[in-house]
Amino acid sequence: MTHPDTALDTVLDTAPNRAPDTASPAAPLALPPRLERPIRVLFTDVDDTLTWQGQLPAVTLLALEQLREAGILVVPVTGACAGWCDCIVRTWPVAAVIGENGALWMERDDDGRIARRYRLSEAERVQHRQRLDALQSALVQRYPFAHATQDQRYRETDIAFDIGQQQRIAPHQCRQLLEALRTEGVQAHLSSIHINAWLGDYDKASSASAWLEQRGLGVTDDAIAFIGDSANDSAMFARFRLSFGVANIEPLLPQLPVGPRYLASGKGGYGFAEVARLILARCG
């Protein structure tokens, strides 16, 4: 999870043939001194939001533990592979994890076993995976700069290309891959380290909403927050009114259709810890 070259922050992650916005989105505000209401559910991105430069800072892990002790449900919502999500839900102090950009979520059942739920049926997943695997192989052959991620074998529902984890590619090459994928009719989105592509009418935001409905928590939107750092978090910023960005999202803000409401001063997990302190202060 290497922090990508900042030049990649200039890549515009928008749908093909979409007209550019005529007005720039509103700039996020500095963190407020106090939140208006307590938070019960905190959704969070993982790469470069909880982590920084490929590591999980100690202050971030401590913040996650403190949030759990305060009764706040923390749910990572990530493009990371199912294998990585399995590790997160088993070892981190989180309530659940939504992975592969909304394709599935994992959480412990009443017996402590890890339960998985998928947005698509098994038959759909098998059919889609065959098509995606063929597409990835074709693009790797076509573009010398295209490399599958090292965690591809642990992915169940999508394909991913490395743009800043083990490989560094230029912004125009990222755009080429995004355009090639979308031309094939698949969803393709840019994170801070990967381009993820999948088939299916879901994303981070719709799956976060589905998880809330499945849990039946009765939590209103004003008790839910989200924190993220990249282009594929825009749907979450749009879905949840109380949203935060960590500082490393700042170069990307002019390109986002919807950005965070507030901006932390710290990068990655250090910015997450700032937001966690703000949320915890409201619990006191």
Do 226 and 44 contact (CB within 8 A), yes or no? yes
Asked whether residue 214 carries a pLDDT value surpassing 60, the answer given is yes
Given this model, what pLDDT does residue 254 score? 92
Q: Verify that 110 and 209 share a domain, yes or no.
A: yes
Q: How far apart are CA 113 and CA 111, in angstroms?
A: 6
Encode pLDDT of 238-284 as tens digits: 999 999 999 999 999 998 999 999 999 999 999 999 999 999 998 75
Asked whether residue 136 carries a pLDDT value surpassing 60, the answer given is yes
Q: Verify that 108 and 225 share a domain, yes or no.
A: yes
- With b for 16 or more beta-carbon neighbours within 10 A and e for fewer, the 198-213 pattern comes to bbbebbbbebbebbbe
Q: In which domain, by residue range, is 94 found?
A: 6-11+27-118+202-283
Given this model, what pLDDT does residue 23 score? 53
What would the two tokens of residue 144 be? 């010398």
What would the two tokens of residue 190 be? 């840019």
Do 221 and 240 contact (CB within 8 A), yes or no? yes
The total number of structural domains that make up the chain: 2
Residue 74's nearest CA partner among 52, 48, 107 is: 107
Encode pLDDT of 11-53 as tens digits: 444 433 333 444 556 799 999 999 999 999 999 999 999 999 9
Encode pLDDT of 44-54 as tens digits: 999 999 999 99
- Whether 162 is covered by a domain: the verdict is yes
Encode pLDDT of 60-84 as tens digits: 999 999 999 999 999 999 999 999 9
Angle at 47 between CA 271 and CA 133, to 5 degrees: 165
- Whether 260 is covered by a domain: the verdict is yes
CATH (domain of 253):
3.40.50.1000
Angle at 85 between CA 83 and CA 89, to 5 degrees: 125
Q: How far apart are CA 96 and CA 98, in angstroms?
A: 7
pLDDT band at 10 (very low <50, low <70, confident <90, very high): very low
CATH (domain of 128):
3.90.1070
Alpha-helical regions (H) of 143-249:
171-183, 204-215, 234-239
Domain boundary among 155, 171, 198: 198
Do 76 and 104 contact (CB within 8 A), yes or no? no
Q: Verify that 40 and 110 share a domain, yes or no.
A: yes
Q: How far apart are CA 104 and CA 101, in angstroms?
A: 8
Do 44 and 227 contact (CB within 8 A), yes or no? yes
- Whether 220 is covered by a domain: the verdict is yes
Q: Verify that 108 and 127 share a domain, yes or no.
A: no
Q: How many helices (H) and strands (E) does the chain have?
A: 7, 12
Given this model, what pLDDT does residue 284 score? 57
The helix/strand/coil state of 110 is coil
Q: Verify that 112 and 88 share a domain, yes or no.
A: yes
- Whether 19 is covered by a domain: the verdict is no
What would the two tokens of residue 260 be? 């965070």
Q: Verify that 277 and 157 share a domain, yes or no.
A: no
94-120 mean pLDDT: 95
Tell me the DSSP string of 148-168: B-TTGGG-SS-EEEESSSS--
Q: Verify that 93 and 128 share a domain, yes or no.
A: no
Q: Verify that 100 and 229 share a domain, yes or no.
A: yes
Q: What is the pTM of this model?
A: 0.89
188-213 mean pLDDT: 95
Q: Verify that 248 and 193 share a domain, yes or no.
A: no
Across the chain, mean pLDDT equals 91
Q: How far apart are CA 284 and CA 282, in angstroms?
A: 5
Domain boundary among 179, 198, 217: 198
Given this model, what pLDDT does residue 5 score? 41
Relative to beta strand 262-263, strand 29-30 is parallel
Q: Verify that 98 and 129 share a domain, yes or no.
A: no
